[in-house]
Chains A and B, each alone.
Chain A
Amino acid sequence: MSEGADSRGGHPFRLSHLDVLESEAVHIFREVAGEFENPVLLFSGGKDSIVMLHLALKAFAPAAIPFSLLHVDTGHNFPEVLEYRDRVVARHGLRLHVASVQDYIDRGVLRERPDGTRNPLQTLPLTEKIQSERFDAVFGGGRRDEEKARAKERVFSLRDEFSQWDPRRQRPELWQLYNGRHAPGEHVRVFPLSNWTELDVWQYIAREDIELPGIYFAHEREVFERAGMWLTAGEWGGPKAGETVETRLVRYRTVGDMSCTGAVDSDATTLDAVITEIAASRLTERGATRADDKMSEAAMEDRKREGYF
């Protein structure tokens, strides 16, 4: 029986679950770096992609991350998040690609939806960018605990030349032997946070003392109610006539397009307070804050089939 202790986790036989998840995610990042020509990391400035970037920095330290970032910009982003994104990119000397939904709308390729949400419009700019830049591995921050279609997702998920996901034709995934083989034009979506839960992400952010955009913490904001959610008032198209703006103390559990990402009432201004709040919440992250997942019972599965991340 070998004995040993590391600097942080204590006895190696009792690594904490965060240590195990961190180690596994780093393994996944390194596998992709070892086997693919041109990976890219989807970076939205949300907490999951921020944790992914942190893990990637650790995985290749003291060298730089051997891939670039890609942001799908819906044109309805929170300004605080864009500011955070640009600051992080500059600090680490990273290369950022941007796929712009607004650009597609301006060119007439995509049309604004009647409900104003741009979340489903992200799929085309994303998949075209993957093709034009010839990315062969695309890291996403998707977690299996988010949604029941995502619970079926592999860590390495092969997508065809149209970026489609076919849940019935997924490769079995055994041990930690990830199969990234793909034909030209195909790519692999890679999910290093597959086995993390929302609470794991927050506990890890606290443990590693990772900086987040301020909108994740309670702040006063002008919001209005639509479909049972608090949406931010702004140039993107809200409020409509009949919707009343009020100032409330809120924070965000997810960060996405302003038109479909709701805020939650909260007085959690610190990481500890957020963790306490998440642990006690009776709603899932998406159930609480995402309008687009409420469209149908299989909304996520249907979007993923088309190439959504």
Chain B
Amino acid sequence: MTISTEQPARRAAPAEATLLRFATAGSVDDGKSTLVGRLLHDSKSVFADQLEAVEQVSASRGQDVPDLALLTDGLRAEREQGITIDVAYRYFATARRRFILADTPGHVQYTRNMVTGASTAELTVILVDARHGVVEQTRRHAAIAALLGVPHVVLAVNKMDLVDYAEPVFAGIAETFTAYALGLGVPEITAIPISALAGDNVVEPSAAMDWYGGPTVLEHLESVPTGRESAARHARLPVQVVIRPRTPEHPDYRGYAGQIATGTFRVGDEVKVLPSGIGSRISGIDLLGVGVDVASAPQSVTLLLEDDIDISRGDLIVPAHDVPALGRNIEATVCHLADTPLTAGRRVLLKHTTRTVKATVEEITSRLALDDLTHHADPGQLVANDIGRVRVRTAEPVALDAYADSRHTGSFLLIDPADGTTLAAGIVTD
């Protein structure tokens, strides 16, 4: 990899730039760290002192070329073993956009980390090695991106330099992957031939692949639409806290504060409060101290209602004409995150939006075999990194949307009531 220590000034995004959250996924030797290093380096996001530290450590290990993976492996244990253990978040910017990158480990043992990174991502970059094409791990990553409803998927066919930059190699892999991913329900796929090591089509267009007319990885990241899903859906406001100043200036102020999960609320809207089902009308919206007529996801707001009704943390404010189903029996897909297995009969806490309720795992219906994506019935238990279907019964009714409609109101955590461990991440797939 060529590295320049002579870097011009960083490109700084203007204050009004948009934000894209994305995740990377790839197998152990697909060159993911190199791609991340290349994106950071070529977008001038690496500082001189960081690069200097990488050069020093590389040289002390007898490496001729600075190892850009050292930029991203932040923990002692990671540097010692030369592997990425845990998700790390990276930040960089171009003149057009700011980026939050969830850098996730690729190994199958860390499936839960890819789930973690993808849960907030609007785009996932899946790397494959051009010499090996679509492998089991590629299919697994595509399946997780589909399961988590990541709106955009990029297939980065890496190491094109090792296949003589041959178009038919790229076209074959892209075709296989696209057919597979569309079958899983991935909404949008962009395939890009790259060499992270040589820098082809990562930030700069490749001179070696003039047959490719599409965007570079960075150009695509800069232009992909963001924020689309959340504002266009059913309006939902999980109540976080009730704001009651009780001061001489605000003797009667009573506001319901929360971040709008999806959709839009307007002053005058008829609303319902769940789980009680009591109705009212929005009399005012405070956007962090400023009165507004309308607000949309993901804005944090405070809603004021016409009627003085009993609302507390954990309640959900929704439009009166668009109410989600309330229920105590939940069928969902979960990714098991903890080291102790998840078994039927286990008592747990279910955290959904701002509401935490007691629950029991009634049944583990099936386990997904990640190698061929088949469902195996009655697995008995789920161990760490397993994805499976479960049936959960809650002590109180919960207002769930389908995950496809809302990543916020269609997801939940299962928590161990004894020690607080996060056991599993759940997705309402029906």
Contact = CB atoms under 8 A, between A and B. Distances in A.
A274 to B, nearest CB: 12
Interface stretch (B164-172, B211-219, B251-259, B360-368): B251-259
A199 B93 contact: yes
B257 A59 contact: yes
Contact of A6 (B48, B85, B241, B295): B295
A152 B87 CA distance: 7
Contact of A151 (B90, B116, B258, B422): B90
Interface in B125-179: none
A22 interface: yes
A227 interface: no
B86 A170 contact: yes
A67 interface: no
A90 interface: no
B273 to A, nearest CB: 16
Interface of B is mostly: mixed
Q: Which of A24, A26, A63, A204 has the most CB of B within 10 A?
A: A63
B91 A145 contact: yes
Given A6-B287, A6-B296, A30 B257 contact: yes
Interface string A104-123: 00000000000000000000
Interface in B343-358: 349, 351, 353-354
A177 interface: yes
Interface stretch (A239-247, A251-259, A280-288): A280-288
A59 B300 contact: yes
Contacts of A149: 74-75
Contact of B9 (A16, A63, A207, A280): A280
Contacts of B90: 144-145, 151
B18 A17 contact: yes
For the side of the interface on A, what is the size category? Answer: 35 or more
Given A2-B263, A175-B408, A30 B290 contact: no
Interface size of B as a range: 35 or more
B120 interface: yes
B10 A171 contact: no
A4 B297 CA distance: 11
Contact of A62 (B87, B113, B250, B296): B250
A211 B150 CA distance: 40
Nearest to B239: A34
B86 A174 contact: no
Contact of B19 (A2, A20, A147, A288): A20
A136 to B, nearest CB: 12
B75 A177 contact: no
A58 B337 CA distance: 35
Interface string B231-256: 11001000011011101011001000
Contacts, number: 244
A33 B241 contact: yes
B369 interface: no
A87 interface: no
Given A26-B288, A177-B412, A151 B89 contact: yes
Interface in B67-91: 71-77, 79, 85-91
A170 B354 CA distance: 21
A152 B86 contact: yes
B232 A177 contact: no
A199 B12 CA distance: 8
Contact of A31 (B73, B240, B297, B408): B240
B142 to A, nearest CB: 19
B107 interface: no
Contacts of B224: none
- Report which residue of B85, B89, B253, B264 has the largest number of chain A beta carbons within 10 angstroms of its beta carbon: B89
28 contacts: A4-B294, A6-B287, A8-B287, A12-B227, A12-B295, A15-B298, A16-B15, A16-B19, A23-B259, A27-B258, A27-B300, A33-B240, A145-B91, A151-B72, A152-B87, A167-B86, A168-B86, A172-B113, A172-B116, A172-B422, A172-B425, A177-B351, A279-B9, A280-B12, A282-B10, A284-B50, A287-B48, A298-B75
Given A30-B240, A167-B77, A171-B421, 14 more contacts: A12-B297, A23-B259, A27-B300, A147-B74, A148-B71, A177-B413, A181-B349, A195-B89, A199-B13, A281-B47, A283-B48, A284-B50, A287-B48, A287-B50
